[in-house]
A and B are shown apart, each in its own frame.
Chain A
Amino acid sequence: MSSTTRRRSYGVKGAPYAFLLPATLLFALFFALPIGYAAYLSFRKVHVSGLGLGSGARKEVWAGLENYSDALTDSELLHGALRVLGYGCIVVPVMLGLALLFALMLDSERVRLAPFTRLAIFLPYAIPGVVAALMWGFLYLPDVSPFYYVLEKLNLPQPNLLDGGPLYLAMANIAVWGGTGFNMIVIYTSLKSIPAEVYEAAKLDGATPLQIALRIKIPMVAPSLVLTFFFSIIATLQVFNEPTTLKPLTNSLPLTWSPLMTVYQDAFRKGDIYQAAAEAVIIAVATLVLSFGFLRAANRRQKQEAAR
């Protein structure tokens, strides 16, 4: 073993490391280091002595697990997580269902104006989240919304979309509107990569377009569905723009509506970055566990099906 390595020149042996260096360096500087710093901060806190008005009255000290125990016993963080869970239960199925439906329709043979329709469905994804939330927020406000004007003229009931249960629908609507296009493109792309022979064989066997869609297309794009589901879970857990933008328009949205909003509030409104760091770490761990848990479960099922 050692004789073979000795025969190689040093330069060749070092080459892989040299190629790895830029990526490793960037990863360490801009990813590992900030995360490490956040983790460090989560174990610290300030300690003030006296009235805290002179210089040197404020010290940073070790907090142990205090920030974590505070975060885990904070009912607002838990409620925020539950609210987001409810919101995700609407967003993810509706968004992916619509994305799959649109992708299958675009992929069917009888579709007209496919490029235009594809673009039209995808376009909302190109609108920045804050702009989308603002626009929908204005549409939800009864006093300025054209929808409410029409409802009033037609003497129809005018639901308050910025309160209680409808608020979840209103918020989910923004996410579905913005996210369907992206997921549709992912699914559509993988539909396009299915070889034509498969469809030919199915048609020769007398399969209807519906049967082709259900029995061939959907199972064959399953990996893309898993992927989009995975992305959607992460995006849902990180929801921040939409509730933050809608917040000033209604009394029904607390500043701690979603877990990320709680982090923002603690870091930038209350000025307690230590508490915020601990919450961020908890959310990151929960996101990792949930999303990778889902990926593992999905992979196991696929393997089982392949074994059959």
Chain B
Amino acid sequence: MPNTKRSRLVACTIAVALGATALAACGSSDSDSKAESGPVSLTYWTWTPGMDKVVDLWNKGPGKKDQITVTVKKQASGDTLVTKILTAHKAKTAPDLVQAEYQALPTLVSNDALADISKQVGDAKSDFAEGVWQQTTLGTDAVYAVPQDIGPMMFYYRADLFKKYGLKVPTTWDEFAETARALKKKAPDKDLTTFSANDSGLFAGLAQQAGAKWWTTSGDKWKVGINDAATKKVADFWGGLVKEGAIDNQPMYTPSWNKALNTGKQIAWVSAVWAPGTLTTAAPDTKGKWAMAPLPQWSAGENVTGSWGGSSTAVTSDSAHKEAAAKFAAWLNTDGTALQALAKESGIYPAATNAQTSGAFATPPAYFSNQSDFYTKAAEIAKTTAPSAWGPNVNVAYTTFNDAFGAAAKNKSDFTAALDKMQDATVADLKKQGFEVAQ
């Protein structure tokens, strides 16, 4: 055992040293020609499944005409890819196109890894909801990416079990708490849902719904509002439910969680539009028994949701063919054929508003075959998404969330203290990097 650990360390060291060369080999900015005429080949880092098939449509269609060939390099998702892009960017060998989650854009822009493509894709603005588009501009005149998919949040519940226990679908968070308590009374071994500390995106989305603005700017300074009144309200609400034992406190995405969903031990899940995919693998036996409803609201009559997930297509500052790359990014996320293929091959929920009601979304996902208006409802909910406010160190806030809220959920202790910890760590990191932080 010690032997392998040691040799693994050596291997890692070698891999790191070789990294520079290997990345240089992967990099695509191979041609020095400044002219955009003549054949161009682009590399695209993405984690979307089936993207190669969508890109084939480009390479055989519009790409062939313009002599722009795109090659897909499949990557790990989310934060892992951000790290990889930043590392490649250090060696000036980032690929031409990358997939990036909205909350990662400020980090990438702040590292000067993304190109401003406002000239090439500015016209696409009208294809997207304003709140979605604003995430790609970071409130500036520049445009750093084209939105690809979005994750408006919704409430998923076991329709059959809600009926069995005589529960009503909650429309406000107060009702949600009452529903959790009512279920505990009727079936003490069941939980309405769990508070999981292993995906910060869920909590960020819930805070967004409540009107939180985690990162804002004033002049040349960043302002961090992670422990603002709106987020505190959300933290207190979930902390209270965990403390009184009305809901479970175990993390999501574990074999236990899968089993709880599959056997009806947990009967609801606050999630996003992509939930059918997750439920298909986590709870295959309960297909057709679930239903989707809008997220509960903070005050009755309101109609707001948050977003959890979603990503965009960006052009890197290292690309030698930024114009060609931007052209592809715009096609991929606004062209009808491309969006249709993305929906079919990759199962994404498009950011482009008119695609949300297009042919691919006429029928509900197979898992929700009982709810025929699934996507009509989803498109309506998507329109109510609250604006988000991301900053240059979302990763630090998210990492701190995992540990601070994990411990608070385990100990059933004060969630507000965990929130303050998150705020302090985020501010401290900004200051350490030299950002000016407004109080």
Q: Which residues of A are interface residues toward B (Cβ below 8 A)?
A: 29-31, 33-35, 45-58, 70, 125, 129, 138, 141-144, 163, 175, 178-179, 182-183, 231-232, 234-235, 238, 248-252, 254-256, 265, 268-272
**Does B260 belong to the interface (CB within 8 Å)?**
yes
A269: which of B140, B395, B409 is its contact (CB, 8 Å)? B395
Q: Number of B interface residues at 8 Å Cβ cutoff, please give it.
A: 59
B residues 1-34 near A (Cβ < 8 Å) are 1-6, 9-10, 13-14, 16-17
- List the B side residues contacting A249 at CB < 8 Å: 251, 254-256
For A178, the closest partner residue in chain B by CB is B1
Cα A254 to Cα B198 in complex, Å, equals: 11
The reply to whether A49 and B434 form a contact with Cβ atoms under 8 Å apart is yes
Cβ-based interface call for B59 (8 A): no
Say which residue of A34, A57, A141, A235 sits within 8 Å of B255 (CB atoms). A141
User: Do B3 and A182 touch across chains, with their CB atoms under 8 A apart?
Assistant: yes
For residue A235, give the distance in angstroms from its CB to the closest CB of chain B: 4
B399 interface hit (Cβ, 8 Å):
yes
B159 within 8 A of A: no
Is the pair B403, A256 in contact by a Cβ cutoff of 8 Å?
yes
Q: Which of B104-112, B232-240, B327-335, B378-386 is near enough to bind chain A?
A: B104-112
Q: Kindly state whether residue B197 has any CB partner on chain A within 8 Å.
A: yes
Shortest Cβ distance from A31 into B: residue = B13
Do A46 and B434 have beta carbons less than 8 Å apart?
A: yes
Q: A175-B1, A251-B410, A252-B410 are in contact. Are A53 and B254 (CB under 8 A)?
A: no
11 contacts between A and B (CB under 8 A): A45-B433, A57-B110, A58-B111, A142-B256, A182-B1, A238-B9, A251-B250, A255-B402, A269-B399, A270-B429, A271-B83
B9 to chain A, nearest CB (A): 7
| Beta-carbon nearest neighbor of B107 in chain A | A271
Quick check: B407 and A163 within 8 Å, CB to CB?
Answer: no
| Contact, CB under 8 Å: A143 / B249 | no
**In the complex, which residues 237-270 of chain B have their Cβ closer than 8 Å to any Cβ of chain A?**
249-251, 253-256, 259-260
Task: Choose one: A45, A179, A254, A268; the contact of B407 (CB below 8 Å).
Answer: A254
**Residue pair A53, B399 in contact (C-beta under 8 Å):** no
A251 touches B251 (CB 8 A): yes
Q: Which 4 A-B pairs have the closest CB atoms?
A: A231-B2, A179-B1, A251-B410, A235-B2
Docked pose: A256 CA to B400 CA in angstroms: 10
Q: Counting CB contacts under 8 A, is B417 at the interface?
A: no
Contact of A138 with B222 at beta-carbon distance under 8 Å, contacts A53-B110, A231-B3, A254-B406 already known? no
| Chain B positions within 8 Å of A269 at CB level | 79, 395, 398-399
Q: Which residues of A contact B220 (CB under 8 A)?
A: 50-51
Alpha-carbon distance A214/B250, docked complex (angstroms):
49
B2: shortest Cβ distance to chain A, in Å? 3
CB-CB under 8 A from A270, the residues of chain B are 393, 395-396, 399, 429
Residues of A within 8 Å of B429, CB to CB, are 270, 272
B435 in contact (CB, < 8 A): yes
Does chain A have a CB within 8 A of B217? yes
Cα A49 to Cα B396 in complex, Å, equals 19
In the complex, which residues of chain A have a beta carbon less than 8 angstroms from the beta carbon of B112? Answer: 54-58
Q: Which A residues are in CB contact (< 8 Å) with B221?
A: 51
- Min distance, Cβ B385 to any Cβ of chain A, angstroms: 24
Dominant SS among interface residues on chain B: helix
Q: Is the CB of A34 within 8 A of B16?
A: yes
Q: Within the complex, what minimum Cβ distance (angstroms) separates B289 from chain A?
A: 20
Instruction: Provide the bound-state CA to CA distance between A270 and B82, in Å.
Output: 11
Is the Cβ of B259 less than 8 Å from the Cβ of A271?
Answer: no
Asked if A48 contacts B435 (CB within 8 A), the reply is yes
> Which residues of chain A are near B197, meaning CB under 8 Å?
251
Contact B395 A248 (CB under 8 A): no
- Contact A234-B399, Cβ < 8 Å, known A143-B255, A248-B198: no
CB-CB under 8 A from B198, the residues of chain A are 248
Q: Are B222 and A51 in contact (CB under 8 A)?
A: yes
Q: Which of B256, B396, B399 contacts A144 (CB 8 A)?
A: B256
Q: CA separation between A257 and B141, bound complex, in Å?
A: 43
Q: Chain B contacts of A231 at CB under 8 A?
A: 1-3
Q: B392 within 8 Å of A by Cβ?
A: yes
B5 / chain A contacts, CB cutoff of 8 Å = 234-235, 238
With a cutoff of 8 Å between Cβ atoms, the chain A residues found around residue B250 in the complex are: 251
- How far does the Cβ of B316 sit from chain A's closest Cβ, in whole Å? 12
- In the complex, are the beta carbons of B255 and A52 less than 8 A apart? no
In the complex, chain A residues whose CB is within 8 Å of the CB of B403 = 254-256
B36 located at the interface, meaning its Cβ lies under 8 Å from any Cβ of chain A in the complex: no
Q: Which of B170-218 contact A (CB under 8 A)?
A: 197-198, 217
Q: Tell me the nearest residue of chain A to B253, going by C-beta.
A: A248
B138 within 8 A of A: yes
Known: A46-B433, A175-B1. A58 touches B9 (CB 8 A): no
Does B356 belong to the interface (CB within 8 Å)?
no
Given contacts A48-B433, A256-B403, 12 further A-B contacts (CB under 8 A): A29-B17, A45-B432, A45-B433, A48-B392, A50-B436, A51-B222, A52-B433, A58-B112, A143-B256, A235-B2, A250-B251, A265-B399
Name the residue of chain A whose CB is nearest to the CB of B411. A251
For chain B, residues 254 to 300, give those with C-beta under 8 angstroms from any C-beta of chain A.
Answer: 254-256, 259-260
B6, B17, B251, B433: the one within 8 Å of A234 (CB): B6
Question: Cβ of A30 and Cβ of B14 under 8 Å apart?
Answer: yes
Q: Which residues on B sit within 8 Å (CB–CB) of A53?
A: 106, 109-110, 138, 140, 392
Contact between B410 and A163, CB atoms less than 8 A apart? yes
**What residues on A are CB-neighbors of B338 within 8 Å?**
none
Query: Quick check: is B148 within 8 A (CB to CB) of the other chain?
Result: no
A residues in contact with B410, CB < 8 Å: 163, 250-252
Min CB distance, B378 to chain A, in Å?
Answer: 28
Q: Which residue of A lies closest to B13 (CB)?
A: A34
Whether B86 sits at the interface, judged by CB under 8 Å, is yes
* In the bound complex, CA of A143 to CA of B79 (Å): 30
In angstroms, Cα B17 to Cα A184, docked, is: 35
- Shortest C-beta distance, B56 to chain A (Å), equals 33
